[in-house]
Amino acid sequence: MMTTTSTIPFDIERIRADFPILDQEINGRKLVYFDNAATTQKPIPVIEALMNYYRGYNANIHRGIHTLAEKATADFEASRRAVRDFLNAPSAEEIIFTSGTTMSINLVAQTYGRHFLKEGDEIIISGLEHHSNIVPWQMLAGEKGLTIRAIPVLENGELDLYTFEGMLSERTKIVAVNHASNSLGTVNPVKEIIAKAHAAGAVVLIDGAQASSHLDIDVQDLDADFYALSAHKIYGPTGLGVLYGKRALLEAMPPYMGGGEMIKEVTFEKTTYNDLPYKFEAGTPNIADVVALKAAIDYITSIGKPNIAAYEHQLLQYATEQIGQMDGIRLIGQAKEKISVLSFVLEGVHHQDIGIILDQQGIAVRTGHHCTQPVMDRFCILGTTRASFAMYNTMEEIDKLVAGLQRVKKLMA
Amino acid sequence: MTINETQDEIIEEFELFDDWEGKYEYIIDLGKKLTPLDEQYKTEDHIIKGCQSRVWLHAALQGDRVIFTADSDAIIVKGLISMLVRVYSGHTPDEIVNSDLYFMEKVGLQQHLAQTRSNGLASMVKQMKTYGLAFSALQKG
């Protein structure tokens, strides 16, 4: 029997056909969408799940006893179980729906952080964090007199773990780092970071916004205390996120917001709170988007995360070679392990000019500081041009980017 | 030349280009030719912050006319600025305040004034008008 090992069974044409948005022209050119780290496009099953929900069984969940409410509730909770499987969480009760990674992090800062941290305690973040994993901790630190310290970033875009070890002490109460960097693509060794933080007695929050569409996530294997992600970055709807938390921690934490759904009993004297996960889901949740998130997860699973990761790795390698060898290009972030994010600067050309000229050619990239100003400061730059790839991108599209950049150079010369 | 005459002149110049490349080549060229703003004015007081690029704007009253000088660290924005300076600079405060900016839309560059561009250009137009208002009040004061 013949075996093939070099090629991956990956039907790119079929996948592209599942994403209707890709089939359009921008400024007279076929769209090349390389802004996937900002948000991914949605496959037909996700769009249909949203439509089917609103057309067929929109109802408020958990309380209604009529048929539509029961169906909506069943699908809502089925999605929670799909997220549990996606993250390999021990139980569905540890999966809390939020509005996005930002809210997930704020929830932990304002409940766990506010309740358990006291003056003089320390929070360790990293120099690779998105502003959404910096500012919530700063707000808490300002309120409670905490100190925030940041793990330094090495020249290749990796975290300086040697320094991190020295930063840990009995004062360290929370370590909050991303699984992968949105601006450089660096995959951080979070399992190792978690183990070291735990040894020092700290709890760890992992910002998984960027990693979740690319890497297999196993919160039990990582031993993460909290893991946050956004649905829209894993081919799901916008305005929806997830917070995984270990049961013991979630149970010890006070609620975040008060309202309906999160209560057991309310009198004017006293309210008892509902069980997990509802304690943290006050008010009518984002039912339609939760339902559609399951379609996104099922879609990813049907193609297979390892297949997606392997294909995206090929895209990244090809882009790194092709763009890296261009005159005047400086790649920012060359960590050994990366998700499919390529950040670069072109000598003498402002990143905004690059973005405008590429857009004229139908190529969507992101330019600027990517909400990671400390990363830009670290590399003494104002911003980068970032191309980030998803499962539906192709090598031909990378060729178009290279040609587009040649055009930028010609125009700016 | 009135503000509108200058705008019409720019619209006429852009009619020469039949593709985006020619248009942008021209804007980039304008950007390169714009007299750089005196370094002493590149301060926090004169900066119009955008998320992407920085824009500096300086205004002074010479006689009864407002003279604008401006700069940016991005070349396309600089080219666009150069056109705005050409339209507004050398006019009286009242002329600036009462003017209607239409050439950007006519030449298909309206998207650069959109919110998402975050390049400070829309803020710059607003700031130019604000200077007009302030100088107008000063003259009447």
Grouping H, G, I as helix, E, B as strand and the rest as coil, residue B31 is helix
Gap between the Cα atoms of A106 and A118, Å rounded: 17
Does A382 lie at the interface with B, CB-CB under 8 angstroms? yes
* Tens digits of residue pLDDT in A164-186: 999 999 999 999 999 999 999 99
CB contact under 8 A, B53 and A352: yes
| B7 contacts chain A (CB < 8 A) | no
Q: What is the 3-state secondary structure (H, E, C) of chain A?
A: CCCCCCCCCCCHHHHHHCCHHHCCEECCEECEECECCCCCCCCHHHHHHHHHHHHHHCCCCCCCCCHHHHHHHHHHHHHHHHHHHHHCCCCHHHEEEECCHHHHHHHHHHHHHHHHCCCCCEEEEECCCCHHHCHHHHHHHHHHCCEEEEECECCCCCECHHHHHHHCCCCEEEEEEECECCCCCEECCHHHHHHHHHHCCCEEEEECCCHHHCCCCCHHHHCCCEEEEEHHHHCCCCCCEEEEECHHHHHHCCCCCCCCCCEEEECCCCEEECCCCHHHCCCCCCHHHHHHHHHHHHHHHHHCHHHHHHHHHHHHHHHHHHHHCCCCEEECCCCCCECCEEEEEECCCCHHHHHHHHHHCCEECEEECCCCHHHHHHCCCCCEEEEECCCCCCHHHHHHHHHHHHHHHHHHC
- Pick the residue of A356, A381, A406 with the most B CBs within 10 A to test the interface with B by mutation: A356
List pLDDT tens digits, range A120-166.
999 999 999 999 999 999 999 999 999 999 999 999 999 999 999 99
Give the nearest chain A residue to B72 (CA atoms). A350
Q: Which residues of A touch B21 (CB under 8 A)?
A: 360, 407, 411
Q: Which of A86-90, A148-152, B72-76 has the lowest mean pLDDT?
A: B72-76
Give the nearest partner residue to B51 out of A357, A368, A411, using CB atoms: A368
Cβ neighbours around A406 below 10 Å, total: 12
CA distance A325 to A287: 48
Region of poorest pLDDT, from A98-112, A221-235, B36-50, B125-139: B36-50
Per CATH, the number for A47-301 is 3.40.640.10
Mean residue pLDDT of chain B comes to 90
Give the distance from residue B28's alpha carbon to the nearest chain A alpha carbon, in angstroms. Answer: 7
- Stated length of chain B: 141
Least confident stretch, A47-61, A224-238, A267-281: A267-281
Q: If you classify domain A12-39+304-412 with CATH, what class do you get?
A: alpha beta
Across chain A, which distance is largest between two alpha carbons, in Å? 75
Q: Which chain A residues have a beta carbon less than 8 Å from that of B20?
A: 27, 360
Q: Is the pLDDT of residue A2 over 60?
A: no
Is B20 in contact with A27 (Cβ distance < 8 A)? yes
- Report chain B residues whose CB lies below 8 A from the CB of A353: 28, 74-76
Chain B positions touching A356 (Cβ under 8 A) are 24, 76
**Separation of alpha carbons A140 and A144, rounded Å:** 6
Chain A partners within 8 Å of B75 (Cβ)? 349-350, 353, 412
Q: Which residue does chain A place closest to B50, by CA atoms?
A: A368
Residue A366 has pLDDT above 90, yes or no: yes
What is the ipTM score, two decimals? 0.87
Q: Does the beta carbon of B47 lie under 8 angstroms from any beta carbon of chain A?
A: no
Mean local confidence (pLDDT), B46-70: 88
Residue A328: per-residue pLDDT: 96
Amino acid B115: pLDDT: 62
Q: How confident is the model at residue B118 (pLDDT cuts 50, 70, 90)?
A: low
Domain ranges (residues) in chain A: 12-39+304-412, 47-301
φ, ψ for residue A63, nearest 5 deg: -105, -35
Candidates B16, B20, B45, B51; catalytic one: B51
Catalytic: B4?
no
Query: Could you tell me if A176 and A125 are in contact, meaning their C-beta atoms sit under 8 angstroms apart?
Result: yes
Q: Stretch A320-330: mean pLDDT, rounded?
A: 97
**What's the CA angle centered on A246, arms A285 and A307, to 5 degrees?**
80
Q: What is the pLDDT of residues A225-254, one digit of tens each?
A: 999 999 999 999 999 999 999 999 999 999
Extract the tokens encoding A368: 């600027």
B-chain residues near A27 (CB < 8 A) = 20
Q: A352 contacts in B (CB within 8 Å)?
A: 52-53, 74, 76-77, 119
Mean residue pLDDT of chain A comes to 95
Q: What percent of chain A has pLDDT over 90?
A: 92
Query: Residue range B8-37: average pLDDT?
Result: 94
Predicted pLDDT at B16:
92
pLDDT of residue A5: 45
Least Cα separation, residue A393 to chain B (angstroms): 25
pLDDT of residue B46: 86
Distance in angstroms (rounded) separating the CA atoms of residues A158 and A153: 6
Determine the distance in angstroms separating the CA of A363 from the nearest CA of chain B, rounded to an integer: 14
CB neighbours of residue A261 within 10 Å: 17
80-109 in chain B: CB under 8 A from chain A? none
Phi and psi at A378, nearest 5°, equal -60, -35
User: Cα angle vertex A203, ends A199, A208, to 5°?
Assistant: 115
How many CB contacts within 8 angstroms connect chain A with chain B? 39
Cβ(A267)–Cβ(A51) below 8 Å? no
When scoring B52, B55, B78, B109 by the number of chain A Cβ atoms within 10 A, the one with the most, hence best to mutate, is B52
Of B20, B21, B53, the CB nearest to A350: B53
Catalytic residue among A309, A371, A381, A402: A371
- Looking at residue B47, its pLDDT comes to 85
Residues 310-369 of A with CB under 8 A from B: 349-353, 355-357, 360, 367-369
Residue A109 predicted with pLDDT over 60: yes
> Which residues in chain A touch residue B73, judged by CB atoms under 8 angstroms apart?
350, 382
Q: Is B21 on the interface with A (CB under 8 A)?
A: yes
Q: What is the mean pLDDT of residues B14-36?
A: 93
Statement: residue A387 has pLDDT above 90: yes
Per-residue pLDDT, A4? 43
Percent with pLDDT over 90 in chain B: 66
| Domains assigned to chain B | 3-140 (3.90.1010.10)
Per-residue confidence (pLDDT) for residue B63, from 0 to 100 = 94
Using the predicted structure, report yes or no on whether residue A8 has a pLDDT greater than 60: no
- What is the average per-residue pLDDT within A287-301? 98
**Is it the case that residue A214 has pLDDT exceeding 60?**
yes
